[in-house]
């Protein structure tokens, strides 16, 4: 599925704006056929979560169905001679689309785009009614799971009584979270493009495969940097390669993108379709204790993050997107993980342009394998992996796939489950490493050996060794040593840190203060950098984020080194130094341990 853009043969209309919404408190809309004639609604902004747009408790905490609708006007020259698509960037969690009362498509999964070809349902004159039914209810059979029975124990009992009832540690939003776009193509068009790149000396090679939909296409031209190659189509497919001499290889320091222009021609040289794809020429592989980008070792410095903002919730905001990338550049980060779900396509395109290395993670967050029948969750997970690959396969910023975060990988049932997911992904993509993010004790971990890189979440000084900063370095060093001995894979610390309430200070670092957070992060980073098998440090979290209501959280998870509105805490200034070219200059402001321990 190609990202919608404007070209000589394609036109898009952004449907973002004010829609109407009806909260279906009794879930009766389907029975009453609201898709044909929805009741009077209230104004709602799209894209955005529904939870924080209104001043009533019920809407804020709603888990269930909301009906979105709006009028849709289509240019007259689209009718009859064009294919017309409605494309939804994402909707949490299950969505169904109707046009003029006709069912167009439905989709399960809260973070992937989906689209329907709607030409047959459009009126030739006048407006059209577009209706999207969204339901954010989770169960033990969805991906991610929710509303688990805490008597199952383990992950299911992590946050008993959490409101809304999810066991994971971020707020369960609902809504249309990414743009809804109306776009057109010709009747014969380029349906898909796959590019893979290779490096030889100073030259870069772009290999491409295309899939064509419709009839009458005869040839495909691909132009990069003034060089054009022509390929004949075999059925509905075409393939070939373009070589770029003196190529500037894509990396964080030089995120060079080459525009590859694809043109599809029919009889008599008629242009049927045109699409431009930005391509970064780079290679990535795991070798020994290293991750190699373009044949050279790379060390990841950055964050776990969340799509989470005041009022907007998980909705895409382009100004905030620019702000966040500007902050990450300011702090000298070079990477982030899409924790704990795929982020908006606009995020990935920004990462390509700005030169960030991305661990691209599925929404299989905190899966409980105490659930007796995981077959449906597995089916949804497998479909999302295919969708994620199809959406993000051409992004040079995506250097690694992550299949899950903090699932019960100490259970035997997790082994065949994640072997299936890994094998599916390996068949799709042989150019990127695959990882899984784990947190169980390394001696009970059963899945890490199946993957190329071990990503570990560990919180010494916060969930253990409370207040004992002097214990943290040795704990991290021993954990890394034993993890490498067990699995023999490069290690990335994908989560570590501590909560800090902005403005809370102490002259001797104590838990919840900015000083304590900074010290925990500093001590862990210094310990990690002494281990040659560690290839990355990603602090949890970039910014404070909203969680469910529970006594363990004060409205937010406060592990952000920035506040939710992006004000820096002390740790942010430390990281800016630690991730600079010169390295940390803060020194060691405190001595840890008791006097007799120091004398020894």
> Are 327 and 426 in a shared domain?
yes
Do residues 330 and 452 share a domain?
yes
> Do the Cβ atoms of 18 and 53 come closer than 8 Å?
no
Domain boundary among the residues 185, 211, 245 is at 185
Token representation of residue 258 = 């080459």
394 phi/psi in degrees, rounded to 5: -95, 5
Q: Which CATH number does the domain housing residue 592 bear?
A: 3.20.20.80
Indicate whether 3 belongs to any domain.
no
| DSSP codes, 109-161 | -SSS-EEEE-GGG--SSS-EEEEEEEE----TTSSS--S--GGG-GGGGTTTT
Catalytic residue among 274, 384, 387, 406: 406
The three-class DSSP label of residue 264 is: strand
pLDDT of residue 584: 56
The 3 state secondary structure assigned to 475-509 is HHHHHHHHHHHHHCCCEEEEECCCCECCCCCCCCC
Indicate whether 308 and 226 sit together in one domain.
no
Q: Does residue 89 fall inside a structural domain?
A: yes
Beta bridge partners of 24: 65
Cross-strand bridge partners of residue 166 = none
Q: Which of 255, 282, 309 is the last residue in one of the domains?
A: 282
Residues 229 and 327 in one domain: no
324 vs 331: CA distance, rounded Å: 11
* CA 76 to chain centroid: 37
Q: Judge whether 157 lies within some domain.
A: no
One domain, residues 234 and 277: yes
The stretches of 134-228 forming alpha helices (DSSP H) are none
| Domain of residue 35, CATH code | 2.60.120.260
Is 307 annotated as catalytic?
Answer: no
**Backbone φ, ψ for residue 276 (5° rounding):** -110, 125
Q: Residue 226: give the domain boundaries.
A: 189-282
CA distance 95 to 87: 12
The active-site residue, picked from 274, 495, 519, 537, is 495
Q: In the chain, how many domains are there?
A: 3
CATH of the domain at 276: 2.60.40.10
Query: Does 108 share its domain with 248?
Result: no
Q: Is the same domain home to 233 and 263?
A: yes
Buried b (16+ CB within 10 A) or exposed e, 76-90: eebeeebbbbbbbbb
Stated length of the chain: 600
Low-confidence ranges of the chain (pLDDT < 50): 587-590, 592-600
Using an 8 Å Cβ cutoff, are 483 and 491 in contact? Answer: yes
Residues 426 and 410 in one domain: yes
Same domain, residue pair 274 and 423: no
Residues 275 and 346 in one domain: no
8 Å CB contact between 528 and 537? yes
Q: Are 275 and 2 in contact (CB under 8 A)?
A: yes
Region for 91 from its dihedrals, namely left if φ exceeds 0, alpha if ψ lies in -120 to 50, beta otherwise: beta
Q: Respond yes or no: is residue 361 known to be catalytic.
A: no
């Amino acid at each position: 599925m190609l990202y919608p853009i404007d070209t000589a043969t394609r036109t898009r209309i952004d449907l973002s704006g004010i829609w109407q919404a009806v909260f279906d408190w009794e879930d009766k809309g389907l029975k009453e056929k609201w898709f044909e004639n929805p009741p009077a609604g209230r104004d709602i902004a799209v894209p955005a979560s529904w939870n924080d747009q209104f001043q009533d408790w019920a809407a804020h905490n709603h888990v269930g169905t909301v009906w979105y609708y709006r009028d849709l006007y289509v240019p007259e020259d689209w009718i009859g001679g064009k294919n017309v698509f409605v494309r939804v960037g994402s909707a949490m969690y299950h969505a169904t689309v109707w046009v003029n009362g006709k069912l167009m498509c439905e989709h399960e999964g809260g973070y992937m785009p989906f689209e329907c070809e709607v030409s047959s349902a459009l009126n030739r004159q006048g407006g059209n009614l577009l209706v999207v039914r969204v339901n954010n209810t989770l169960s033990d059979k969805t991906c991610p799971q929710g509303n688990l029975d805490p008597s199952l124990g383990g992950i299911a009992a992590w946050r008993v009584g959490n409101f809304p009832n999810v066991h994971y540690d971020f707020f369960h939003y609902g809504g249309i979270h990414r743009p809804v776009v109306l776009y057109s193509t010709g009747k014969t068009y380029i349906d898909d493009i796959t590019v893979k790149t290779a490096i030889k000396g100073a030259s870069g090679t772009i290999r491409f495969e295309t899939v064509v939909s419709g009839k009458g296409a005869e040839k495909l031209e691909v132009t990069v940097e003034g060089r054009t190659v022509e390929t004949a189509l075999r059925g509905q497919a075409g393939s070939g390669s373009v070589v770029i001499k003196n190529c500037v290889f894509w990396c964080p320091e030089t995120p060079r993108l080459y525009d590859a222009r694809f043109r599809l021609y029919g009889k008599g040289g008629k242009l049927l379709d045109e699409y431009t794809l930005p391509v970064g020429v780079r290679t990535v592989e795991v070798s020994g204790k290293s991750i190699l980008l373009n044949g050279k070792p790379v060390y990841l410095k950055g964050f776990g993050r969340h799509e989470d903002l005041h009022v907007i919730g998980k909705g895409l905001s382009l100004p905030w997107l620019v702000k966040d990338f500007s902050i990450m550049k300011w702090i000298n980060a070079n990477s982030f993980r899409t924790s704990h779900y795929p982020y908006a396509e606009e995020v990935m395109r920004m990462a390509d342009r700005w030169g960030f290395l991305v661990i691209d993670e599925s929404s299989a967050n905190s899966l409980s394998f105490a659930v007796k029948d995981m077959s449906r969750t597995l089916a949804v997970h497998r479909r999302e992996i295919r969708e994620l690959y199809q959406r993000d396969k051409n992004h040079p910023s995506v250097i690694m796939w992550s299949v899950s975060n903090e699932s019960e990988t100490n259970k035997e049932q997790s082994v065949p489950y994640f072997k299936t997911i890994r094998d599916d992904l390996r068949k799709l993509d042989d150019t990127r490493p695959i990882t899984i993010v784990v947190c169980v004790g390394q001696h009970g971990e059963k899945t890490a050996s199946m993957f190329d890189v071990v990503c570990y979440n560990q919180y010494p000084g916060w969930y253990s060794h409370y207040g004992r900063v002097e214990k943290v370095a040795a704990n991290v060093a021993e954990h890394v040593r034993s993890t490498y001995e067990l699995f023999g894979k490069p290690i990335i610390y994908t989560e570590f840190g501590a909560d800090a309430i902005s403005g809370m200070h102490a002259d001797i670092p104590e838990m919840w203060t900015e000083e304590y957070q900074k010290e925990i992060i500093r001590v862990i980073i210094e310990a990690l950098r002494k281990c040659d098998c560690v290839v990355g440090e990603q602090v949890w979290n970039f910014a404070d984020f909203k969680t469910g209501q529970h006594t363990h959280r004060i409205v937010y998870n406060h592990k952000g080194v920035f506040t939710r509105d992006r004000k820096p805490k002390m740790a942010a200034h430390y990281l800016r130094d630690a991730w600079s070219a010169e390295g940390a200059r803060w020194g060691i402001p405190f001595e840890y341990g008791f006097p007799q321990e120091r004398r020894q």
